[in-house]
C-alpha cells in the first residue's frame, strides 16, 4: 500500500483533564500516515485521484482547535474517524498526537499516542 505523510502539523488546542489545560490551552502536534492506492494519481498526474493534503490539514485543524477533549486518545480517534469517513480513497490511517508540554513534573521531550484505524 502506498503512503502519504503529513508531518508535524502544529495546532493550539484546549485538551486535557486539568482545568488550566482547558482554560489556557497548549500546543499539539499531529503526524499522519495515510495509506491509499496512489498509482492512478501518479500515472495521470491528477489531484482528483489522490488525497488533497491541504484539505486533510484543515480537517485536523478543525478537530484540534475547535473541539475540546480530555484525552489526546480522543483527539486521535476523532481525526482517524473523520478522515476515514470523509475521504473514500483512504484505506488506513495512522494518527499520532503529541503533547509537547503536558503539565506533569519531570524531564521529558513530550508525551504522545499513536493509533491506526482502517476501513472495514
Sheet holding 2-13, edge to edge: 2-13, 26-36, 92-99, 111-118
Known catalytic residue: 99? yes
Name the pLDDT band for 119 (thresholds 50, 70, 90): very high
Domains defined along the chain, listed by start: 2-118 (3.30.1130.10)
In this prediction, residue 27 carries a pLDDT of: 97
Q: Taking a C-beta distance cutoff of 8 angstroms, is the pair 24, 15 a contact?
A: no
Paired strand residues for 30: 9, 97
From 3, 44, 49, 99, active-site residue? 99
Q: What average pLDDT does the structure give for the chain?
A: 96
Whether 14 has a pLDDT exceeding 90, the answer reads yes
Mean pLDDT over residues 68-90, rounded?
97
Q: Taking a C-beta distance cutoff of 8 angstroms, is the pair 15, 69 a contact?
A: yes
Whether 103 has a pLDDT exceeding 90, the answer reads no
Q: Output the pTM of the full model.
A: 0.95
C-alpha cell at 47: 489531484
Whether 37 has a pLDDT exceeding 90, the answer reads yes
How far is residue 56's CA from residue 78's CA, in Å, rounded to a whole number? 13
Amino acid at each position: 500500500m502506498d503512503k502519504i505523510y503529513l508531518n508535524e502539523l502544529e495546532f493550539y488546542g484546549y485538551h486535557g483533564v486539568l482545568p488550566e489545560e482547558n482554560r489556557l490551552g497548549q500546543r499539539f502536534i499531529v503526524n499522519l500516515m495515510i495509506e491509499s492506492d496512489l498509482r492512478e494519481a501518479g500515472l495521470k498526474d491528477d489531484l482528483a485521484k489522490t488525497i488533497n493534503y491541504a484539505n486533510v490539514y484543515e480537517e485536523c485543524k478543525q478537530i484540534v482547535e475547535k473541539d475540546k477533549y480530555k484525552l489526546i486518545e480522543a483527539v486521535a480517534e476523532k481525526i482517524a474517524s473523520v478522515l476515514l469517513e470523509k475521504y473514500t480513497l483512504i484505506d488506513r490511517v495512522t494518527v499520532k498526537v503529541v503533547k509537547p508540554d503536558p503539565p506533569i513534573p519531570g524531564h521529558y521531550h513530550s508525551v504522545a499516542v499513536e493509533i491506526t484505524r482502517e476501513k472495514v
